Amino acid sequence: MAGSTLEIKNLHVTIEDKEILKGVDLTIKGGEFHAVMGPNGTGKSTLASAVMGHPKYEITEGSIHLDGEDVLEMEVDERARAGLFLAMQYPSEISGVTTSDFLRSAINAKREEGDEIPLMKFIKEMDSTLDALEIDKNMAQRYLNEGFSGGEKKRNEILQLMLLKPEIAILDEIDSGLDIDALKIVSKGINQMRSENFGCLIITHYQRLLNYIEPDYVHVMMQGRIVKSGGPELAQRLEAEGYEWIKEELGIEDETVGQNA
C-alpha cells in the first residue's frame, strides 16, 4: 500500500469557549503535498494543533482518522508513533535536552523496544542530514531550540522531519524568519521527502515558499473553514491579487475567526 491517509471531516474546534474551526474538511494522502494558505488569524495553526492533540483545543464536532484509525482517541505520543508529525510555527525550547538526544529518543519512540537505532547509525544519519541542511554540527549538542535564532529553529524542525520520516507531516509557517538562502535549503530538504509514502500539509501565509515546494493542491482558509480549493494556480493568483477577490466572491467581510466568532 502506498502511504497513509489523513482524513479530517467537519472539524469544529473551540478554544476557551470560542469556536475557532467551524467545519474543516481535508484529506491528505501519501504522495500528496497540500498547501493551506490564508490571512493571519483564520485558524491555520489551530488546525495543526488540533490534529496533533494539543490539550487546549477542544474538538466539539467532526472526526480525524489516520488510515481509518480514530486519531482523536490517541494520546499525543501515540499520534507521533502512528506517523503524524508537526513542525510548529513557534517551536518550544527544551532546556537540559540536547538536540541530538531529543532526536534519538524521538526516533526510538517510534521503534519497537529492543529495536532501537544503533548509535553509530544514528550519528551517521544525523551528520549527513545536518550537512544537507547546512546546519553547524555543534548545534546538535546544544539544548533543543535554546538560544536558536528563528532560522535555526526552522531548520531544526526540518532536521527532525527528515530523521523521523513521518507518514504525514504538517509544516506550520516553516518559511517564516528564513532568508532566501535558508528557504532554498529547507525547501530542498522537504522536497527530498517526496515519495508515495509521505504526505504533507504546508501551512503558509505567503506564496513565496510555494515557488520552491510545488503543492499538488492549494486550499484557502478563512473564518475557520476551507473556503476554496484548487491547484498551484490558486497560489499564483493569491500572490498576484491577494485575498480580497476571494472575500468578495464569497461575501466575507472579516476573514478572521476573532472577536466576532
Q: Please identify, among the stretches 1-9, 39-47, 75-83, 138-146, the one whose residues bind ligand ADP according to the rule CB under 6 A.
A: 39-47
Q: Compare residues 43 and 166 and give the one whose CB is closer to ligand ADP.
A: 43
Helices (H) and strands (E) in the chain, counts: 8, 12
Q: Name residues contacting ligand ADP, limited to 219-258 (CB under 6 A).
A: 257-258
2, 10, 56, 137: residue in contact with ligand ADP (rule CB under 6 A): 56
Q: Which three cell numbers stand for residue 256?
A: 478572521
Site for ligand ADP (CB under 6 A): which residue of 3, 41, 53, 83? 41
- Contact indicator for 13, 57 with CB cutoff of 8 Å: yes
Q: Quick one: the chain helix, strand, coil %, rounded to 5? A: 35, 30, 35
Give phi and psi for 11, each to the nearest 5. -75, 125
Residue 140's nearest CA partner among 124, 151, 156 is 156
Binding residue count for ligand ADP, defined by CB under 6 A: 14
Kindly state the smallest distance separating residue 43's Cβ from Mg ion, in Å: 8
- Judged by CB under 5 A, the residue of 42, 45, 156, 160 near Mg ion is 45
Segment contacting ligand ADP by CB under 6 A, of 37-45, 59-67, 70-78, 112-120:
37-45
Rule CB under 6 A: is residue 106 a binding residue for ligand ADP?
no
Of positions 5, 46, 129, 207, contacts ligand ADP by CB under 6 A: 46
Instruction: Report, in Å, the least distance between residue 218 CB and ligand ADP.
Output: 15
- Please give the DSSP secondary-structure letter assigned to residue 137: G
Binding mask 185-224 for ligand ADP (x = CB under 6 A): ----------------------------------------
Query: What value does the CA radius of gyration of the chain take, rounded to a whole number of Å?
Result: 18
- Nearest of 13, 18, 52, 61 to residue 201 by alpha carbon: 52
What does the CA dihedral 180, 229, 64, 51 come to, rounded to 10 degrees?
A: 20
Q: Which one of the spans 40-48, 77-85, 114-122, 186-194 is the region binding ligand ADP (CB under 6 A)?
A: 40-48
Q: In whole angstroms, what is the distance from residue 76 CA to residue 62 CA? A: 18
Residue 214 CA to residue 62 CA, distance in Å, equals 29
CA-nearest of 252, 242, 232, 221 to 38 is 221
- For ligand ADP, the closer of residues 162 and 257 by Cβ is 257
Binding site for ligand ADP (CB under 6 A): 15-16, 20, 38, 40-46, 56, 257-258
